[in-house]
Each structure stands twice: as structure tokens, then as C-alpha cells.
Structure 1
Amino acid sequence: MSGRDLFCQPRRIRRGAALTLVFASVLVAGAATGSFDTPGRKTDPPPARTAQAGHQEDVADAAAEAVADGKSPVEAAERAVSRSGDRWGAVYSQGEYEEFEEALDGQYTGVGLWARRERDGRIEVTRVQSGSPAQAAGIREGDRLRSVDGHHVDGRPVTEVVSLLRGDATGADAGTTVDLGLQRGTRAWSETLRRARLSTDSVSVRQLPGGATVIKVAAFTKGSGDRVRTAVAAPSSDAGIVLDLRGNSGGLVTEAVTAASAFLDGGLVATYDVNGDQRALHADPGGDTTRPLVALVDGGTMSAAELLTGGLQDRGRAVVVGSRTFGKGSVQMPSRLPGGSVAELTVGHYRTPSGRTVDDRGITPDLEVEEGALERAETVLSGLGDPP
């Protein structure tokens, strides 16, 4: 897999641009009241057949029929998901889902690129992982990715670009090569990179010259919430904290809630519904509620990162600076299908503590800034130019 805007993403999500808000194994771990069905877990059937349950049954039936007929259960399930109109629905083969879960553990095979699709269809590099093949080749943030192994990527869903970069069609492993067509300004060139087994550097911390601490969270993989808490608890100046969630395409909800606990003394982070059942996510007590905090966001801030942003904003804990976030506030749950594949289907939506919905709307910053957002964040932290 190739970087974190591109990573852990359902291969076939309808808009091809965002990371699933993953509750797989999240609520089972105790992040909220209640539990969800997970692959292999048996529970009593619900008293009534909800629309979501109906879609799940339809997908399972399609896969079962395909297995019986000697056809591809994955393709049959994909067609059923498409008919359901679930734009965030996705179907994985057993191997793909294992890779998905592995990615949430912070491991992936790729070249170390974070990328996203711009509104005009261009695929742009948003981050290069330190120590990765991409960094060794001199690829930089802002470079345009034009092709992968001869396949032009303009206009393709990001998830398809992921598949090409990882070599899914050929079962490519670490050590295999991939040819990239790149552009920087007027210069166009090609690079041949060798895929490697990489660990995601999902949380990084640095100090600005003025004393503020910047905590950059690229994604909410396992352990990232605790790393945020550790960074907040570390001795530092009183200049404040910039929580940089730009380009964060989401991840595990438990980790986002743990990160919220670094800044809150308990209380509500978000509510959500699953098949009509209302539930809540709460922060742990004991977080730092005094240091000035700015949350930086942009159009690449998605899913679990939006959940965290909305919670901090509604609780009055952070000033949100940047541009409107992506707007993915739906909840997906996985279910095992006949043949071993896994379907991830939408089962509900979440809201911020004040009751705002995020899906299709995103989070509007307190201070909207397109350029120089980090500099404006420093100004806000210093008490100069606070937003009205």
C-alpha cells in the first residue's frame, strides 16, 4: 500500500476519496456501549429487518449463489452492493481484508507515498514517508503522480491508484518494482521504485520556533491515540498545541476518541446510530484542558478525524483553522460472506456533541484559511488575531 491518504481505504467506495470510518473491532474493545457484529461472531437476529440488514442479507445471498454456481463471490457481492446504493460499501477478498486490518495495525507494503485526488482529477502527493523508497527517489510533497506501471491515473478513484501502487493484480510483494510517472512544475520524469515493508509514522511531533508544539496525525492506526496523549503530556512550553489533522483520512474510532481524551476531562465526543440504536462515545477524564489548542483541517480531513474535530470544536476546547473538511460521517461494519470475502456496509451515522451531522457537510472551521494555515494557527495561539 502506498501511504496514508491512500491507505486502509475500501477498494471500491463510491466516491473513491476517503477512508472508511472503521468500527470493526472498535466497539468490541469497549469504546462505547453495545457491540456490533464482527466476522465470525454470532448474535441473535434483530426483531425487525432493517433496510441495512436487508442490504446485508442481499449481499450475502448473492455471494452464496455465486459460490454454489462456481462463480466469483466477490464480484457477485460487489454487484449487490452497487445495487444497494451504498456509496461507502465495499467488498474485500479474504486476503484484501487481512491487508486492510494489517494496515490499521500500522504496517503496509508500498513505496511510502501519501496522495489524494484533487477536484480536477489530478493525483497529487501530499506526504512522503521518511526512510521510504519514495523519499530515497527524491519525490516530494506537491508532485503530481501521472501514471503507475504505464497506467494513467488522472481521474481514477484513489482506491484504484492504491491497487496499482501495491501491485494487487499481480500479487506483488516487498521487493517488487513499480514504475511511476511524475511531474513537478514543467518537469516530467519517471522513477522505478522497489516496494518495501513499511511502518506507518502516523503521529509526529515537532516544536515551532515560537514554542508551540505541532502534533501531526496522519491517520488513526492502532496506538496513535496514545501517542497523541504522550505528546500532550510531555514537558514543553506554554505556547500551545497545534493538532494538525490536514490530510488525515480517518481510521479507528477508538484511537480518535483516545486522542480526544488528551484534551478533554471526560465527556461526550460524538453520538452515533447503528440501525436506529443511538449510542455515544466519551472521552476519558484527566486530559489537558488548559493549554491553548488549534486544530488544523482541510478537505482531506475525513471520517474519524472529523469526529475528533467536531468533538473538540463543540466542546469549546479547540479553535478550528483551515478549510471545510471532507464530510464523511457514516459508520461501516464488516460481515463475513460465503467464500471467505468480507462486505463492509453502512449501518449508521455519527453526530457531533451539539447534534450536527457531518455526512456530506463536513466541519466548517472557526477561521477559514486556504493558505498559510499553520502561520495563522500560531497567531491564534499567541492571542493575536483570534477569530471573531
Structure 2
Amino acid sequence: MSAVTTTSSAVNRVTPAAWPRGGGRGAGCAGAGSRAPRPRRAPRGGAPRRRAPAAGASADDEDLRGNAGGLVEEAVATASAFLDGGPVASYESRGSRRELTAARGGDTAVPLVVMVDGGTMSAAELLAGALQDRCRAVLVGSRTFGKGTVQQPSRLADGGVLELTVGRYYTPDGRSPDGTGLQPDVAAADPAAADGLALRVLSGLGARP
């Protein structure tokens, strides 16, 4: 996890009204604030990288690009750092439905951007979808991979492990990323420019009149 500090002169701020829309559901509804982010756990498959925004604003950037996910519990724990309770996801397995909820007390004020791409999948998509649907973060980048299935490991007689698909995940708004992925709120036409775009969005979120 590495931090990048920028100066206000190095960043062209992008306010919510000027964001290039990417088709996601969270654009324009993420709140702004000025409190520093709290430490939290990240899903396995690559820890999100945090960046600092332009001087005078406090915000957070979760980098989930190329993150293959990991344990669902860790995705819920990460979401809990930015939510004050409420739904994170749900899944249906063997005819029953289970709700996954965030713990109370998360930081709901710090501006938040989540970077995603075609390598963002599984539990990482669950995390991104929860923060997007709850209007807690702005997703920046490109469409995610689209793996929203629940897999259960089964031990084989020879000692191997077979993972069986037994269900499907849904975001708080009832969307399943399986097969379709999640669309970002701010699309990065050029992947190489995604980092700079995320910093500009962060600056817009953290800007004060």
C-alpha cells in the first residue's frame, strides 16, 4: 500500500457535475467530508492502494484494479470501515437467502473513490458494488470482470479440493455482477490515465466552496 501526495497546482479538479459518466449507479451521490480515513482490512488478491488528494482536502482512494477478491468476510470488513451499518450484499445458496451487513461506526464522511477494471472480480466486486449502491463511493475506471458467484469448497477422496458454484451474490440494490460486471461512475477511456482521473475526482469530492 503506497501513498502519493500531490499539490493543488498539479491537479485539475473535477467536480461532480463535470464527471464523465460511465453508466454506474453511484455518480453524483457520494458525499464529501474532511475527516482522515480509518485503517481497515482489504480483500485478499491485492491490498487496495491509498492515495492522498490535493492539498487542503482529505479523501481516500481504494485501488481494486487487478484484485481477484478473496474472503467475503474481508470484503464486508473493508466496507464496514466506510459505512455505518446497513446492507453490503446478499446471496442465495441452496434455496435460502443470507444478508451481509456492515458493522456500525464506519467513517461516512471522508470522500471516497474506488478504482476498478476488468481484473476486479469476486469479493472485490462485492465491495465495489456495495459502496456504489450505498452512494458511498465513486467508481472510476472500466467495467469489472463479472464474477458474482458463491463457491463452496468440497474435499475430494484424493485430498484435492473441488469448488462448486452454489449461489450468486447481489449488491444492496439487487444487482448481480455475474456475467456483466459493474460499470464505473466515471469511465477512464485510457487505462493509463485512470490514476490521474481518480485524483481529479478526489479533488472534486474534497473541494470546499
TM-score for both structures, normalised by structure 2 = 0.74
1:298 aligns with 2:117: yes
Residue 237 of structure 1: how far off its partner (Å): 6.8
* Structure 1 unaligned spans of 5+: 1-203
Amino acid at match of 1:382: S
Q: 1:356 & 1:240 partners in 2: Cα distance?
A: 27
Contact 2:118 2:142 (C-alpha < 8 Å) held by counterparts:
yes
Amino acid at match of 2:139: V
1:325 aligns with 2:144: yes
Q: Which residue of 2 aligns with 1:266?
A: 85
**Residue 352 to residue 210, structure 1, CA distance change in 2 (3 Å):** farther
Contact 2:170 2:177 (C-alpha < 8 Å) held by counterparts:
yes
Contact 1:264 1:285 (C-alpha < 8 Å) held by counterparts:
yes
User: Which residue of 168, 174, 193 maps to 1:355?
Assistant: 174
Residue 374 of structure 1: how far off its partner (Å): 1.5
Contact 1:330 1:359 (C-alpha < 8 Å) held by counterparts:
yes
RMSD, aligned CA: 3.1
Q: 1:221 & 1:319 partners in 2: Cα distance?
A: 22
Q: 2:57 & 2:87 partners in 1: Cα distance?
A: 26
* Structure 2 unaligned spans of 5+: 12-35
Q: 2:196 & 2:110 partners in 1: Cα distance?
A: 18
Q: 1:283 & 1:237 partners in 2: Cα distance?
A: 30
Q: Which residue of 2 aligns with 1:251?
A: 70
Q: 2:159 & 2:102 partners in 1: Cα distance?
A: 36
Q: How does 1:178-257 map to 2 (within 5 A)?
A: 204-210=1-7, 220-221=43-44, 238-257=57-76
Could you give the per-residue CA deviations for residues 214-238 of structure 1, whole angstroms, max 9, x where no partner exists?
A: 9xx9x7239x6xx99xx89xxx974
Q: Which residue of 2 aligns with 1:283?
A: 102
Q: Which residue of 2 aligns with 1:383?
A: 204
Contact 1:210 1:239 (C-alpha < 8 Å) held by counterparts:
no
Q: 1:240 & 1:339 partners in 2: Cα distance?
A: 50
Contact 2:43 2:78 (C-alpha < 8 Å) held by counterparts:
no
**Secondary structure, in 3 states, of the residue corresponding to 1:290?**
coil
**Secondary structure, in 3 states, of the residue corresponding to 2:76?**
helix
Q: 1:352 & 1:342 partners in 2: Cα distance?
A: 28
Residue 382 of structure 1: how far off its partner (Å): 1.5
Higher helix share: 1
Q: 2:160 & 2:188 partners in 1: Cα distance?
A: 43
Contact 2:89 2:169 (C-alpha < 8 Å) held by counterparts:
yes
Residue 326 of structure 1: how far off its partner (Å): 0.3
Residue 309 of structure 1: how far off its partner (Å): 0.3
Q: 2:7 & 2:176 partners in 1: Cα distance?
A: 36
Q: How does 1:83-232 map to 2 (within 5 A)?
A: 204-210=1-7, 220-221=43-44
Say which one has the larger Rg.
Answer: 1
Q: Which residue of 2 aligns with 1:100?
A: none
User: Which residue of 344, 364, 374 maps to 2:195?
Assistant: 374
Amino acid at match of 1:381: L
Higher strand share: 1
Q: Which residue of 2 aligns with 1:40?
A: none
Q: How many residues in Structure 1 have an aligned counterpart in Structure 2?
A: 172
Could you give the per-residue CA deviations for residues 229-254 of structure 1, whole angstroms, max 9, x where no partner exists?
A: xx89xxx9743111110110111111
